[in-house]
Chain A
Amino acid sequence: MAAQAQKVLICDDSVLVRKKLRTLLEDMQCKVFEAANGLEAVEAFKLHQPDIVFMDIVMPEIDGLEALRRIKEHDKAAKIIMVSSTGTSAKVLEALKHGASDFIQKPYEKEQIIKAISPSQSI
């Protein structure tokens, strides 16, 4: 079974997105942490050292791309997957350049999330 006891950080200002993702991930036995903006995301990453991060882009305080950059500065090996409505080429390219492991366009499908946290997934 994929993702047993993985620590996952969800960073999204949307209560709905966090709720849906939490339910899905907890069903997969993941330990879930949440952040509602980019600043919280950076702090939560340092505090919990998650195995994987799902990061929105359009967020208050600092956006997801800046949070990605700061987390990568702190931990180059951090596995961060962008989950955003703004999936233009420019944004995807920027995210990948900053070290994002993957980019999932909203609305996401459950299978995309399940696949993303699968241990065999290596990009």
Chain B
Amino acid sequence: MFDQYFGQYLLNNGILTAKQLRDALEQEQFTKAKLGVLAINTGFMTAEQVEEVHHLQRTIDKRFGEIAVAKGYLAQDKVEYLLAEQKNNALSLSQVIIDKGYLNFSQLETALSDFKKKNQITSEFDMSQALQLLETGVSDMYLDYAALFLRSITRFLDDIPLVDIKLIRSLKMHDVDSVKGWMVSQDITGSSDLFTGIVLEDAAFLELARRFSEEELQTIDSLAQDSVSEFLNVHNGIFLLNMSNRGINLDLEVPKITSKVSCKPGEGWYIPIELSFGTIGLIVNKKKI
């Protein structure tokens, strides 16, 4: 669940005003989601049940979870799950919105449900792909980045990415220079600098550009180049949101494009990804190259 996305959704759809969202965002960092909000988000309880338990808490000196279990609304293992979720600082924006009275539980339930249906957003990655990558010893941030990239391929290019873990190479081997083709790259800066890049030959470049732009592109002209850059930019934007959700604030630089792959040795990975229209290489490097 991405609080930032949800906040923008509420603003864009007139559910919150700009002032309300600004106030809520300012309070977000000081707030932890309570079990009621988390229970609505997971679908474990309805807004009506949460309202009832909240009401009972005013007269019974028991915790939310205890009352919900006693009423038969939550099983104990689900309470444990929600308590664990609470430590992830997820949904703090939703809690502020409730606390400030901008929405009631029922309105929040509807907004969360509509938002998820519309955006199909989930914080879970494609686990089978992620686990494959994990076996190579790629660090968490690279793993998150690469797994999200695979999902972006499915989401924006309507293709099924395949990664052969045997072909993942460390950039310490500095053999990326031998890859022929275009390189579209973007630096991510902040507490953790990352160099991100896509390497691809002409045919794959053009098809990726066509799919992302939905334009009838015939040659690798400025529009085609821009389409591949924008794909990387949009994907990186989503990665930034994920990192921001964990308290890591990062920024994006302007994407760059070159017709010759040039990549110095670094502390990162080159990940070849097989698509239906060819192979593209994903470069994730710890520092600017």
Q: Point out residues on A near B: beta carbons under 8 Å.
A: 13-17, 19, 58-60, 84-90, 92-93, 96-97, 100-107, 112, 115, 121, 123
Across the interface, name the chain B residue whose C-beta is closest to A60: B254
B104 to chain A, nearest CB (A): 22
| B22 near A89: Cβ-Cβ < 8 Å | no
Which residue of A19, A84, A87 has the most chain B CB atoms within 10 A of its CB atom? Answer: A87
B22 to chain A, nearest CB (A): 5
State A123–B10 Cα separation when bound (angstroms).
12
A15 to chain B, nearest CB (A): 4
Instruction: Chain B residues near A58: list those with CB within 8 A.
Output: 233, 252-254
| A19 near B223: Cβ-Cβ < 8 Å | yes
Chain B contact surface mostly? helix
Judged by a CB distance under 8 angstroms, whether B44 is at the interface is no
Instruction: Chain A residues near B156: list those with CB within 8 A.
Output: 107
Instruction: Chain B residues near A92: list those with CB within 8 A.
Output: 4, 7-8, 21, 25
Instruction: Chain A residues near B21: list those with CB within 8 A.
Output: 92, 96
Instruction: Chain B residues near A105: list those with CB within 8 A.
Output: 4-5, 8, 237, 241
Determine which of A14, A15, A89, A102 lies in contact with B25 in the assembled complex, contact meaning CB atoms within 8 Å: A89
B209 to chain A, nearest CB (A): 9
Determine which of A14, A103, A121 lies in contact with B230 in the assembled complex, contact meaning CB atoms within 8 Å: A14
| A88 near B244: Cβ-Cβ < 8 Å | yes
State A104–B9 Cα separation when bound (angstroms).
8
Across the interface, name the chain A residue whose C-beta is closest to B186: A58
- The proximity string for B residues 8-28 relative to A, scoring 1 for CB distances below 8 Å and 0 otherwise, is 100110100110011001101
B7 to chain A, nearest CB (A): 7
State A105–B222 Cα separation when bound (angstroms).
24
B142 to chain A, nearest CB (A): 20
Which residue of A15, A96, A100 has the most chain B CB atoms within 10 A of its CB atom? Answer: A15
Q: A104-B8, A107-B156 are in contact. Are A89 and B226 (CB under 8 A)?
A: no
